[in-house]
Amino acid sequence: MWLRFYYAIHFLKSGINYAVFGVIPDFSKAGAVGPYLVEMNNIGFYPFIKYLEIVLGSMLLFNILTPVALAVMAGIAFQIAYLNLFVSPHPRQLFTGTQELLLCGLLILAYGKHFRSLFVVKAAPSFPWTPVFNTPRQGSKP
């Protein structure tokens, strides 16, 4: 539970720093990642991610659709880790990339029961409105 709070606050801080206080990192100091981040900002994807971080952080903090939030956060965490560990591996970024993967990975593992059905080898179609268990309805004859 504390790990969920920590990761939620981590995402909220990142998003709120941008959305409320207008904090934009100096992309020129980001090494090889700098031009990529500048273009993300130019096309509006960087602001979108920052606002998404606020939504996802809030979902995680208040335990609303937590597995869905973690699934989306995994994509963000993977990109941050890839950029920080392989594209621009500076000492601070090495910590940040590792932290993102570790926190998100541990939380996905903690909520693993909710992801278990994703790993069915031969899955049959199952629409969201179909009952989970094939039990007779109350009042009906078996």
pLDDT tens digits, 115-133: 998 888 998 888 888 876 6
pLDDT tens digits, 9-23: 999 999 999 999 988
In 3D, which of 115, 96, 114, 111 has the Cα closest to residue 10? 96
Q: How high is the pLDDT of residue 103?
A: 96
More confident residue, 96 or 75: 75
More confident residue, 31 or 60: 60
Domains held by the chain: number: 1
Q: Which domain holds residue 22?
A: 2-119
Q: How high is the pLDDT of residue 136?
A: 58
Q: How high is the pLDDT of residue 28?
A: 80
Which are the contacts of 4, defined by CB distance < 8 A and separation ≥ 6? 60, 61, 63, 66, 107, 110
Q: Which two tokens stand for residue 99?
A: 């932290």
Residue 31 belongs to some domain of the structure: yes
pLDDT band at 72 (very low <50, low <70, confident <90, very high): very high
